Chains A and B, each alone.
Chain A
Amino acid sequence: MPATNSADGTALVAGLTESQLHELYYALVRVRAAEERLELLHKQGHIGGGVYRSLGQEAGSVGAAYALDRRSDGTGDIIAQTVRACGALFLMGGEPLDFFRQYLARATGPTGGKEANVHWVDYRRGLVGPVSPLGTMVGVMAGITLSFRLKQEPRVGLVFAGDGATSTGAWHEGLNFAAVQRCPMVLMVEANQWAFSTPTRKNTRLESFTQKAAGYGLHAESVDGTDVLDVYEGTKRAVDRARAGEGAGMVEMRYYRLKGHAQHDNQEYVDPAELKAWEERDPIKRFGERLLSEGWATQKTLGALKARAEVEVSIAAEQAVGEPIPDGVQALDAVYTDRGAKTPWTRLETPDPIQA
């Protein structure tokens, strides 16, 4: 073992011990393994809806969530995840099994097949299910973190949203509200340079989204989204400030969406040379090389972590595939707390419009 061995708990870098660095690596390879498995399930025809990858962005979501106080009893920090923040979802305690159940629309999943992909909630673990217009989530997280301030709970909320959301009115209104109310919220801008097929330069004339922060009186910083430690440290600074009562902040993660918006998008609008250049900055490759070169891990350890992640993911995927889909009639349930939707009269045993 190298001289910098921190099996005794000594911090090696960014205040993290060797076992924490390994935990980060595990989180990275797990999310990639899960998404690769997802693609396979899609090719096999198991998934009816869209399949979204966070390829190239894993370090952003993993590094950000690692900076949080993660608990499973509803007293820790909270995130509003996105499909590109799957790594954060898992780190917060979201189960790969539930991830597959969601994509496979299983009755056993957290939404029983009513919602898709990473759109699920677990308030105990600090997960807020997003809706597809992601700018909307900024206001929602502003309210969640407002409640932390009002109740004097030392909790922080991260809301993830990408380039596209920054152009919406909801993003502006939510961010301004959070700034004015000094909500302990950190906006994680997933600056992956694309909003579906629209490049950043068509979403803003600014060089960096952090320049927008000044307009709200927010502290902001930009981090290298392909470097898990840089994301971790930048997020931690923002989270610490928010927890200390200094109000909302923004962290811009600069990286690149290496896949299309979803499986159906073949990225024909992307410059192949640009794509190739960013592929060279693969966050997992980078972190793995760093761990090896600094002597913080051996090839054997990294191989074992990857193998463990693949096994975990594989077990989860296989279990989810074998589970039942919901009964159609469950579509009637839970429209209100005190009533569902009515059965269409044409589907009654004796069709009768008076029962409509």
Chain B
Amino acid sequence: MGGKPDSVTKTERREPVTLLEAISEGLFEEMERDERVFLMGEDIGVYGGAFKVTRGFLDHFGEERVIDTPISEGGFTGAAAGAAHMGLRPVVEMQFMDFISPAYDVITNYIATSLYRGSGPLPLVIRGPVGGGNRGGPFHSQNVEMAFFHTPGLKIVYPSTAYDAKGLVKAAIRDDNPVIIEEHKGLYRAPFLREVLPEDDYIVPLGKANVVREGSGLTVVTYGMMVHRSVEAAEVLHQEDGFEVEVLDLRTLSPLDDEAIVESVKKTGRLLVVHEDTRTGGIAGEIAMRVSEKAFEWLDAPMLRVTAIDAPVPYAGALEDYFLPQIEDIVTAARYLAAY
């Protein structure tokens, strides 16, 4: 077996890692810690994955723990369920999360229902790249959370920083429930996210949101790439308007951290949800309904949202930039709410 690939030893060497390298380290460490953990997916072995998340893993762990599969998301996700029944802890990679749709049946009908119908827990992870802004077009840019958010029995996480990505990956692998991890391609190698991670074996608990910027005037609830756009917008509002925005990074979408959302809204009295996913049926609707149930009396303004438009993800730069929520959209919405 080969030694540890360089891509997973940066923390050991006290070097900064990208979000992608943080995910690699998380996977690698869990595979070292627990021999029941194994990987399946397309081109993850010899090639190391389309984005090289598992580069060097095959040499180190061998082909029984890093399994290159046929192009068959439904088939290998089903196989992950079967292996999990027998005590293994599979992690499957969707080469792009856009391609998870053939596995929709097995995920929603089989995996999500397993515990409830008495078939036992299914400790498995389904992970892969999501998100736009990379000129990937309609089939390499989608956010798939809401296709699964509606299904009880699944957990969904969506990290926005290297620290969180590693901690969430490790927590997801250790969780006894099926967990979907969405990894934003635009954050994979974003230089501004490079950070030196702790050397200890930390996790980031599922279901806990994180206040990434404190403020008193408005709560922005967001996740993934939009955390960073929201923080930039908050900085603009601070500089130009003296208006202080609180940015809450959900980190886990299911289960939603109601407590953190409500606590922040009670403090600010205003809510803006920002997501890169499309508008109709996006998570903003659910969050607004929960705030209506739990904190209506504290609201000083309507709950609003900034999202992608209701369309497939277009290819051309000009179209995709128009499609995606931009910092200016967030600033505009925040100013509208501030003035309400």
Given A147-B83, A335-B115, A337-B176: A356 touches B75 (CB 8 Å cut-off): no
Within the complex, the shortest CB–CB distance from B294 to chain A, in Å, comes to 5
Given A114-B118, A129-B118, A131-B109: A144 touches B75 (CB 8 Å cut-off): no
Interface string of A124-159 (1 = CB under 8 A from B): 000011011100111111111111101100000000
Contact B74 A139 (CB under 8 A): yes
Contact A129 B119 (CB under 8 A): yes
Interface centre among A120, A132, A136, by most chain B C-beta atoms within 10 angstroms, is: A136
Instruction: For B74, list chain A residues within 8 Å (CB).
Output: 136, 139, 169-170, 173-174
A111 within 8 A of B: yes
B337 within 8 A of A: no
* Complex Cα gap A119–B70 (Å): 29
- Taking a contact as CB atoms closer than 8 A, the residue among B87, B106, B153 that contacts A336 in the complex is B153
- Taking a contact as CB atoms closer than 8 A, the residue among B72, B109, B153 that contacts A177 in the complex is B72
Contact A115 B81 (CB under 8 A): no
B318 within 8 A of A: no
B26 within 8 A of A: no
Contact A136 B82 (CB under 8 A): no
State the interface size on chain A (CB cutoff 8 A): 49
Given A110-B118, A129-B117: A150 touches B88 (CB 8 Å cut-off): yes
State the interface size on chain B (CB cutoff 8 A): 45
Instruction: For B75, list chain A residues within 8 Å (CB).
Output: 139, 142, 170, 172-174, 176-177
8 Å CB interface, B26-80 against A:
38, 64, 67, 69-70, 72-80
Contact B79 A140 (CB under 8 A): yes
Closest residue of A by beta carbon distance from B71: A173
Instruction: For B290, list chain A residues within 8 Å (CB).
Output: 356
Instruction: For B293, list chain A residues within 8 Å (CB).
Output: 345, 353-354, 356
Contact A147 B86 (CB under 8 A): yes
8 Å CB interface, B84-140 against A:
84-88, 90, 102, 105-106, 109-110, 113, 115-121
Contact B70 A176 (CB under 8 A): yes
Contact A174 B85 (CB under 8 A): no
B251 within 8 A of A: no
Closest residue of B by beta carbon distance from A341: B152
A181 within 8 A of B: yes
Contact B70 A146 (CB under 8 A): no
Instruction: For B155, list chain A residues within 8 Å (CB).
Output: 336
Contact A145 B82 (CB under 8 A): yes
Q: How many A-B residue pairs have CB under 8 A?
A: 148
Contact A176 B72 (CB under 8 A): yes
Contact A121 B119 (CB under 8 A): yes
Within the complex, the shortest CB–CB distance from B154 to chain A, in Å, comes to 9
- Taking a contact as CB atoms closer than 8 A, the residue among A173, A337, A341 that contacts B78 in the complex is A173
8 Å CB interface, B297-312 against A:
none
* Complex Cα gap A113–B126 (Å): 29
Within the complex, the shortest CB–CB distance from A323 to chain B, in Å, comes to 17
Within the complex, the shortest CB–CB distance from A15 to chain B, in Å, comes to 30
- Taking a contact as CB atoms closer than 8 A, the residue among A112, A132, A146 that contacts B79 in the complex is A146
* Complex Cα gap A150–B80 (Å): 13
Closest residue of A by beta carbon distance from B120: A121
* Complex Cα gap A119–B117 (Å): 8
* Complex Cα gap A142–B117 (Å): 21
Contact B118 A146 (CB under 8 A): no
B177 within 8 A of A: yes
B255 within 8 A of A: yes
Instruction: For A129, list chain B residues within 8 Å (CB).
Output: 117-119
Interface centre among B72, B73, B177, by most chain A C-beta atoms within 10 angstroms, is: B72
Instruction: For B70, list chain A residues within 8 Å (CB).
Output: 173, 176-177, 180
* Complex Cα gap A353–B296 (Å): 11
Instruction: For B38, list chain A residues within 8 Å (CB).
Output: 150
Jot down 18 A-B pairs with beta carbons below 8 A, ordered by A.
A110-B118, A111-B117, A120-B118, A121-B120, A123-B85, A133-B109, A136-B105, A139-B75, A142-B78, A143-B82, A146-B83, A150-B38, A169-B102, A173-B76, A176-B72, A177-B70, A336-B115, A337-B177
A residues bordering B, Cβ < 8 Å? 110-112, 114-115, 119-121, 123, 128-129, 131-133, 136-148, 150-151, 169-170, 172-174, 176-177, 180-181, 334-339, 341, 345, 353-354, 356
Give me the 4 closest cross-chain CB pairs, A-B, nearest first: A139-B78, A143-B82, A173-B75, A143-B79
Known: A140-B106, A173-B78, A353-B293; 13 extra A-B contacts, CB below 8 A, are: A115-B117, A121-B120, A132-B109, A136-B78, A136-B110, A146-B82, A146-B83, A147-B86, A170-B106, A176-B72, A336-B177, A336-B255, A339-B255
